[in-house]
Chain A
Amino acid sequence: MNTEATAVSVTAPELALNDITAGYFANDIVLESVSMTVRPGNVTVVLGPNGSGKSTSLRVMSGFLRPRTGTVTLDGQDISTTSPADRLRLGIATLPQGRSVFPDLSVDENLRLGAWQLRNDKGRLNDAVDAMLERYPKLKPLRTRLAGSLSGGQARLLEFARTLILEPSVLLIDEPSVGLAPVLVDDVYNELERLKDEGRTILLVDQNVQAAIGLADQVYTLAYGKNHLQGARDSFEGQLDDLIKQWLNL
């Protein structure tokens, strides 16, 4: 796994938001001049109170929301108007918030849909599915089960597998532990730990401040849709409690 890990980090590009303004409705701005950089091989964590624009930043990165001003760049190349499907082709994969498996399709079919871009290349598709079953052996005996009958933890595993199946160079992960039982939250963080150890490039949005900071290399905090603080993890470690208090008072 280690050789692969270095390969991932070397080829990974740098994804950046530059001075982004964005919102969902005409007279409503959710992000105001937000900038952040997802460095190759790093885990970048975005923190902030509810409604501060964390998930919206992620949506702008994944292409589901077009910025009104500012640019999204991948290694300096402007991808602001690139569709989500094409961004996936460029190696930017998203793990959305909440349960997103297709309940009436089997585990196998869910994985195949994850590798949708390989649909015309049966050989590579099968290899990719096998590789994911190798990576997550717990999914193997469940292959023919309908995804709707999986437990919360199993479904999360499947979602991880589905997101990783194309071996993306940048992973955007939105609130991975929301709605899961506490035991399963640990599992999710173990998995994130493993992704970090493999040297993958990750942007993580989470409400679970302690756990997220534990993983982070870089931290950005947002407040009211604007950049608030940013820096390496170490500079945050002492002031965590202050931060949380501050957010509760915001």
Chain B
Amino acid sequence: MAETTDLDKDAKRNSDVALAQAKAASAGVRKAPWWVTPLVAVAIFAIIAPMGGILGLGAVTTLTTVLYYTVIAQGWNLLGGYGGYLNFGAAVFAGTGAYTAAWLNSEFEWTLWQTLIPAAFAAAFVSLIVGFATLRLRSHYFAIFTLVLTFLALVVVKNWPALGGAIGLFTDVEGDFSSRGLAILFFYVLFGLAILATVIAYFVEHSNFGYALRAISEDEPAAQVLGVKTTSVKLRALLIGAALGGLAGAVYAFFTGYIEPAGTFSLDLALDIVLVCVIGGMRSWLGPLIGSIIVVLLEQILRVVVPNLHLFGLDIPAETNRLVLGVLLLIFALFIRRGVVGLFVQRRGRVVSV
């Protein structure tokens, strides 16, 4: 297009439009330097690190839950966030890990450490089956399927005598631990896994694999046209995410000491993980970490505060926290689509839909 001054005009006009919009949104083209997000992550982990030794038992347990959510959410975010394949399957993979670990422990007396790898493999294996069956589905069909999948897993496990049926399985940590000692152990195991998951997410985001996932999320047919083997990319993302979920689930099985089907394959967990990523920021490796902290702390606070409010002399049930979180999810999904991280790390330029 050699002779076209029209394109110039067009470019000019468009940049004016873009500029006006940028000014209007006051977000502008602010972009934090590249080292800000790694620094924030390191700072968060550095602050959390000594907490296991400092805080009281209750607070340590809460932080352990934060780390548990971080591991699963980082895994979920690979396909759910970067890939744009929103799904409610997180509990299936974490549950598979939990049941694998609990079964190996109660049946063969494997220790926590010995069950970690098998749990990751079991979850990855389940994800492979799920992925082969469903990843040709486009996003919302996939989301609905994963919803069904959670119930399916629940029904299967409930009716599987070797897995304890509806009664569930008990786990036992080898060695003589005080209750505080145990809490600290789980805290640091999950602390390590959370760092592992975050590092994996960082490398995925900055790799060709990460680009492919983002391309899939934005325009899957276009990615295919460019030669991206989309099904295989999605499958790999699901697999890595499931393995992380499986690892977290294994620790969880020992952490609670007892697992049963309804609590393990619960939609609450699946929804929480989506919430964590949406609030934290689905397009960033930092998002799930920040989201976990916000969601878990908020849930805890609401659970304690809300029943004591006695608004108008009414008894308000603790489950109200789900209502608050639901509203929060809507607000973020509608207005703060890049999550908390997106508020601080704005990519240059504005997205103008044409």
Contact = CB atoms under 8 A, between A and B. Distances in A.
Are A and B interaction partners? yes
Interface of A: 62, 64, 83-85, 88-89, 94, 96, 99-106, 109, 112-114, 116-117, 119-120, 136, 138, 144-146, 148-155, 157, 162, 183-184, 186-187, 190-191, 194
Contacts of A112: 211
The 5 closest A-B pairs by CB, nearest first: A100-B222, A151-B14, A146-B349, A88-B227, A148-B351
A131 B261 CA distance: 58
A116 B225 contact: no
A105 B215 contact: yes
Interface string B8-30: 00110110001000000000000
B229 A96 contact: no
B226 A113 contact: yes
29 contacts: A88-B227, A99-B354, A100-B221, A100-B222, A100-B225, A101-B219, A101-B222, A102-B222, A102-B223, A103-B351, A104-B351, A113-B211, A113-B212, A113-B226, A116-B208, A116-B212, A116-B227, A120-B208, A146-B350, A148-B351, A148-B354, A150-B14, A151-B10, A153-B6, A154-B7, A154-B11, A183-B10, A187-B6, A187-B7
Contact of B225 (A96, A151, A187): A96
B13 A149 contact: no
Contact of B215 (A96, A99, A113): A113
Contacts of B351: 103-104, 146, 148-149
A113 B228 contact: yes
B2 A149 contact: no
A89 B13 CA distance: 38
Contact of A104 (B14, B208, B218): B218
Given A96-B222, A102-B215, A190-B3, 17 more contacts: A83-B229, A88-B226, A88-B227, A99-B354, A100-B219, A100-B225, A102-B218, A104-B218, A113-B212, A113-B226, A116-B228, A146-B351, A148-B349, A148-B353, A150-B14, A152-B10, A153-B6
Given A138-B7, A153-B10, A105 B348 contact: no
Q: Interface on chain A toward B: helix, strand, loop, or mixed SS? A: helix
A111 B211 CA distance: 11
Contacts of A187: 1, 4, 6-7
Contacts of B348: 106, 144-146
B350 A84 contact: no
A154 B212 contact: no
B347 interface: yes
B300 interface: no
Contacts of B215: 102, 105, 113
Given A99-B354, A190-B4, A105 B10 contact: no
A239 to B, nearest CB: 31
B47 interface: no
B46 interface: no
A205 B226 CA distance: 19
A102 B214 contact: yes
A152 B228 CA distance: 24
Given A103-B218, A104-B214, A113 B223 contact: yes
